[in-house]
């Protein structure tokens, strides 16, 4: 099992942890859950999470990449570009080319990199209309992974994420259970032993009828889609004015909600740095 002493997570809302909410309203997320596993029996472990919701690829390149290139941690995870390709008329090929250059810089700096593809939104009503753009972007990402010999967490290939319960009410961000499974899958990609299996099937539930789904679509449009369109037209972002939750690479101590060191399944962990 590889042992990393330093880890920086770059990205947007996915890596920030939306909507894996903690009792205080902050977000945990797959990256914090993974950091818990990496910190297990590793007292010198340090972690930064520079991700901020709403960030575009270029903002991630300009604002987050320099830290990773400066401090050169042993491990960097990258998920970026999703907010770019959501925009109507976006040039997916251009986004992918800039992503490729970011990975080139990281790997040439001698950093181990893990890249994340986009998930398959086939079963997510309305959002599934951008499925073809996600698939095209993913094809580019796989080419980048092969070009620079990085690791990849292929969210599209994770069948458990095709269940609507993998997404939160906004249909864009993952649920807490999905974040837990993604952390486990990432650990597996890194060769870290875990005590749980991300492949475990979801419990059986009764499927909603078409009328319930239609009402849900209307409510989702009012609550989430229209506000997003409004922000897009105004040139605003959900992340405007927000700072990363862990902007600097600092020593990391994981604790559970009841103060007990969590197990390596990453299921119930909160994260703190020394001195907080």
Give the model's pLDDT for residue 123: 66
Could you report the per-residue pLDDT of 62-73, keeping only the tens digit for each?
999 999 999 999
Domain that holds residue 12: 6-199+242-273
In a domain, 127, yes or no: yes
Tell whether 171 is covered by a domain: yes
**Does residue 214 lie in a domain region?**
no
| CATH code for the domain in which residue 31 is found | 3.40.50.1110
pLDDT digits (tens, 9 = 90+) for 200-214: 998 887 777 666 666
Does residue 262 belong to any structural domain of this protein? yes
> For the chain, give me the number of helices (H) and strands (E)?
10, 7
Task: Determine what percent of the chain falls in helix, strand and coil, rounding each to the nearest 5.
Answer: 45, 15, 40
Place 262 in a pLDDT band, splitting at 50, 70 and 90.
Answer: very low
Q: Is residue 232 part of a domain?
A: no
Domain count for the chain, please give it.
1
- Does the bond joining 19 to the residue before it have cis omega, within 30 degrees of 0? yes
User: What would you measure as the largest C-alpha separation in the chain, in angstroms?
Assistant: 54
Instruction: Read off the pTM.
Output: 0.85
In-domain check, residue 119: yes
Is 204 part of any domain?
no
């Amino acid at each position: 099992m590889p042992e990393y002493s330093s880890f920086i997570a770059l990205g947007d809302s996915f890596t920030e942890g939306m909507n894996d909410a903690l009792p205080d309203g902050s977000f945990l997320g797959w990256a914090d859950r993974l950091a818990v596993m990496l910190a297990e029996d590793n007292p010198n472990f340090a972690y930064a999470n520079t991700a901020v919701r709403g960030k575009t690829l270029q903002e991630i390149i300009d604002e987050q990449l320099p830290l990773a290139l400066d401090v050169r941690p042993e491990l960097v995870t990258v998920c970026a570009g999703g907010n770019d390709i959501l925009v109507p008329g976006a040039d997916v090929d251009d986004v992918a080319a800039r992503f490729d250059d970011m990975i080139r810089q990281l790997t040439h700096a001698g950093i181990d990199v893990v890249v994340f593809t986009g998930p398959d939104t086939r079963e997510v009503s309305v959002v599934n209309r951008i499925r073809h753009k996600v698939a095209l972007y993913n094809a580019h990402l796989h080419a980048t992974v092969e070009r620079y010999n990085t690791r990849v967490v292929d969210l599209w290939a994770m069948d458990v994420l095709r269940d609507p319960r993998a997404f939160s009410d906004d249909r864009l961000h993952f649920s807490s259970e999905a974040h837990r499974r993604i952390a486990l899958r990432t650990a597996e990609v890194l060769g870290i032993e875990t005590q749980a299996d991300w492949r475990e099937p979801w419990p059986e539930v009764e499927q909603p009828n078409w009328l319930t789904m239609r009402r849900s679509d209307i409510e989702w449009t009012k609550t989430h889609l229209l506000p997003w369109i409004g922000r897009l037209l105004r040139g605003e972002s959900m992340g405007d004015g927000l700072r990363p939750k862990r902007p600097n690479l600092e020593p990391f101590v994981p604790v559970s909600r009841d103060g007990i060191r969590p197990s390596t399944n990453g299921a119930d962990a909160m994260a703190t740095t020394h001195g907080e």
